[in-house]
Structure 1
Amino acid sequence: MKSTSGMIIVDKKAHICPPSSATHPSDRWESLFVYAFICKFTKLRGKVEGLETPMDFEAALLLPVPNTIMTQILTRFILNLRPQTRNLSSDIIATTVASVLQEYLKSNERTVFWNDEWKRNVDPFQGLDDGGFWSSEWDFKLKVLRQFVELQLVHSNEIKALIDRAWGVIHNKHKKHEITPAPPPPEDPYSMENLLLVPLGQDCQRKRYWVIDDSPRVYMSTNPWKITAAFEAVCSTRDEYVALIERLKSRAPPEPKNGQRRTKPEQAHSALLKVLQDRITIIDADIARVQKVRRKIEQKQILMAQAEVRETRTRRRTTRPDYAYLNNPDSEVIDEPK
């Protein structure tokens, strides 16, 4: 609060949400946010070995050691912001992550690591133990990933170009040679329809349900305009998915009486049930696809292990031959004259 010439000026404080009590990445909205960006703006899913579902992403996030999935995600994020970066091997990428992020933290742009008291961003890597990024808690790693996604949406030329193309945005309209390109068709992976992240539907209690791919994973969120808004993963397997449908059926409103019409929440509940039921065949196909991919990975690992065993067994011990030379003039062996 400041006083100037008898006037009182009150500094407005930003709205601060209470900290999340989630004990697993699946119950944090940032996990959906980051994984959605991976699916919509990169080709990592399906290209990186082992990254097929949101559960794979969360498992990699929980590992306290460097792993292929997280290394490839960080590599892609850094290259989107700094295309010329070279130090991206798994043993030093954590240092590169800190270096790139610190560049943006120097500006006045508010980030996840903004300190209201100091009126600036703080260095989140300061004070970390020797393990650095990898040995940190999953909560810290998720915040870093979220911040990288936000930075890419604002500063990455490649990502901004995809968004501009999808929404038909053109810059420098005053130039005559600039022609507004037609937005891509809905079936294009980078169309507006595919880049948008909207709820699958909502039930009669106005709870929103979200999906990001064809896996059984479904998220649920409550009213986002309330400070008590909740977010959680309600299913991750096919059995849990079917159980979710049954729960929604049990909470479905009764059929309206003659002459009455369903309310909008009731209509939304029925529409949500239909969408969830229609996705079962899609989920079954995706589960079969993921199982096939994982079998190939397992077979590859078995073959690599067998090859290593064979190499170990056939490896011969090599020793240098010990030659004896007759360099001693007092030797008992004397060549006889011919």
Structure 2
Amino acid sequence: MTDNETPSTTSSGAPGRPAHWERDLLERLAFASLTEQRRSRRWGLIKFFIVVLLLLALFLSQSVDWSGSALSTRHTALVDLDGEIGANSAASADNVISGLRAAFASTSTVGVILRANSPGGSPVQAGYISDEIKRLRAKYPKIPIYAVIGDVCASGCYYAVAGTDKIYADKASIVGSIGVLMNGFGFVDTLKKLGVERRLLTAGAHKGFLDPFQAVKPDEVKYAHQLLDEIHRQFIDTVRQGRGKALKETQDMYSGLFWTGEDAVKLGLVDHLGDASYVARKVIGAEDIVDYTYRENVIDRFARRIGTTMATTLSAELLGHTPVLK
């Protein structure tokens, strides 16, 4: 060391370390932390976009019909009405009607088969389907629509399909149950035995209509029967309009009883025995069958579940035990 050189010192003046080395170290650590945060943020965005792209690809794969060659040739369109008919079921009017509209709108559709396998359900939903079948038949008079019954087509299911051009079934299918019901339970004596008192506050003399924890009121039972009779009449009118002269009415036809497909043919509730393949091949004359049934895709199902969860949570948080219009 020459006389002009000065030894390096620490901040405390100790030789061997440059001045302010602690600050330099902290700055390097801070820059390293910021760099890592930027990398993590970028990787998070990349993962987000990957998930979005995968969901988009999944949506497209379930929404697009890749059988373009089948859709470009003459074919029989198939729509399923499967399961209980209800607003939130696979056999809802929205789902069935969506399938029917797509089937009729295709320029390659020669005829439509509504394949029915349902014990019935909501008369309102069944009525929507019935009305839409009438509308589509009027709009597309050259495209026939046939109902093909599987295991069962009872009550609301028969209501829905009665307006098709013809009805086919298997000899062992269960057909009919043209009636309406309203069911429930009564727990009046049970509450007494348990020593439980029912407290129901209402505004309106019949707001607690047929409350299961109170004794039935004759005037309410009478009114309920009037409602059922009115819906039953609507059901009967729909069957008569749809089946026309094919019906061979009996005393039991509208009693709620049901029959095998073989007996239903004799009563005029069914036209012939046969399955979907037979109808496509022999009746419609287009053996190739293309399924137009609306089926909820993964994204729709996910969105609906998220929506249901949020609605349930909001209902629990906001409504609680406050009075609601119902």
What's the TM-score, normalizing by structure 2? 0.22
Between Structure 1 and Structure 2, which shows a larger proportion of strand residues? Answer: 2
Q: Which has the larger radius of gyration?
A: 2
Tell me which of the two structures has the higher relative contact order, counting C-alpha pairs closer than 8 angstroms and 6 or more residues apart.
2
